[in-house]
Amino acid sequence: MRTLIQNAIIITMDPQRRVLTNTDLLIEDSVIASFGKGLKEKADRVIDGTGRMVLPGFICGHTHLYGIMLRGAPMDIKPTTDFLQILDRIWWKVDSAFVNEDAYASALASCYEFVKSGTTCFADTYSGPGSVEGVLDEIAKGVTEVGIRGILAFEATERNSKEEGERGLKENVRFLKKLQKSPHDLLYGMYSLHASFTLSDELIQKTRDQADQLPAPLTIHTSEGLIDVYHNIERYDKRTVERLFDLGILGSDVVLAHCVHVNHDELELIRGSGATVAHNPMSNMNNAVGVAPIKEMYEHGISVCLGNDGFIFDAIENIRTAYLIHKVHHLDTRVTTPQQVIEMATINGAQAYGLADKLGSIEAGKQADLVMLHPNPRVTPILPGGVYGYIIYGCTAHDVEHVFVNGNQVVEDHQVTSVKQEDVEKALDRVVPALWKKLGIDV
């Protein structure tokens, strides 16, 4: 199958960050075959790109697909005042109630919302002590039905028992070996650890050893709330990143989620290790944990990708928040640039998970994961020097006209083509009432 996009504005996100106007792009099967002005290639399908921006599909560097299942849930709990109470009174109750069928439905719904706003790849960590063995297969089913890319892991933790942590690690190893034996174009595995305040040194080191034996990315929540910092200082006389560094877990294959409460010395350790930070500004705001020091991370030369932490699945809304929050936090309009946050949501995410040779930029030979934005109405000219700002100031998810993943068109004329909305809603209707009932919510 050959698809030709004609006369578009191509935002490459390549090493030169080229922006090309009036340019054609040819997709051949699953890859970007070529792009340039006036391509004369024959194609099975031609798409008019006039007035449209084409850029790499957005990559969500950290999410929890199951988070969508709590949307609007009127839980009868004592109001929370800090991050640990949020975990204890809300999320740890929710994930304990999950079964495998819930995981499938949440994956289907989240991926449906992801792709509608142009997200073509994400890194998910699932948590559920009552649904461990085989649960990644259920999540993978939802991911592939929608037709986007998923980097999947079970979030190992010892908050209830050491045996629970072992089961989580084994589920990750099982899924990785399954993919090693039977690779899938859209699926990847990784290792996930919850946070150091629910983990022993032994499990952290065992996971690192396993990642060295069976290579895959490794992610861990890091200093999201002050509980993480206080726990490590009180028990180990070390801050969070210092403990992780001393345990030998940090490396270029590691993605540290959040890093809200990190100091200068910890930033130096992150930089030196080559680890990436996954920034989740909307979730950090919702949980009132603080603002990650992204300005300082850039000054240290740390790569930052963009996640949603399972909160809001609209990529453009997350991009816009990442652009704005640091300006008001520092009272300085110069802190972030439009290009920086688009980089967070594209090429930086690909680099974080070792996929930059395949994803994150528009280059010949890379996988055809693309999003076409059609601002409607287009109120001002779209010029090469202003494309990043136009996305932030002028686009919403409603402007996502077409989305391609691995060369397959999964959104056409603003509509998801792979699954029907009513089927997604039916899958949710089958499981959400029972899940909410476990949480004491009458439906």
pTM: 0.97
Same domain, 129 and 272: yes
Q: In sequence order, what DSSP letters do the residues of 122-176 get, joined into one string?
A: EEEEE--TTS-TTHHHHHHHHHHHHT-EEEEEEEE--SS-HHHHHHHHHHHHHHH
Same domain, 122 and 199: yes
What total number of domains does the chain contain? Answer: 2
What is the pLDDT, as a whole number, of residue 41? 86
Residues 322 and 346: their CA atoms lie apart, in Å, by 14
First-to-final CA distance of the chain: 46
Same domain, 22 and 121: no
Q: What is the mean pLDDT of each run of 10 residues along the chain (443 residues)?
A: 97 98 97 94 94 98 96 90 92 92 97 98 96 97 98 97 97 98 98 97 98 98 97 97 98 98 98 98 97 98 98 98 98 96 98 98 98 93 95 97 98 97 97 94 87
Same domain, 74 and 52: no
Q: Is residue 312 part of a domain?
A: yes
CATH number at residue 332: 3.20.20.140
Same domain, 217 and 75: yes
Q: In which residue are the tokens 């910890």 written?
A: 266
Same domain, 67 and 207: yes
Q: In sequence order, what DSSP letters do the residues of 184-211 get, joined into one string?
A: -TTEEE-EEEEEGGG--HHHHHHHHHHH
Q: Is residue 430 part of a domain?
A: no
Same domain, 275 and 403: no
Q: Is residue 407 part of a domain?
A: yes
Q: Is residue 198 part of a domain?
A: yes
Residues 306 and 415: their CA atoms lie apart, in Å, by 25
Same domain, 347 and 389: no
Same domain, 291 and 407: no
Segments forming the whole domain that contains residue 71: 58-352
CATH number at residue 374: 2.30.40.10
Amino acid code (one letter) for 96: S
Same domain, 328 and 364: no
Count of other CB atoms within 10 angstroms of residue 386 = 15
Same domain, 13 and 36: yes
Same domain, 250 and 284: yes
Residues 298 and 294: their CA atoms lie apart, in Å, by 6
What is the pLDDT, as a whole number, of residue 40? 85
What is the pLDDT, as a whole number, of residue 219? 98
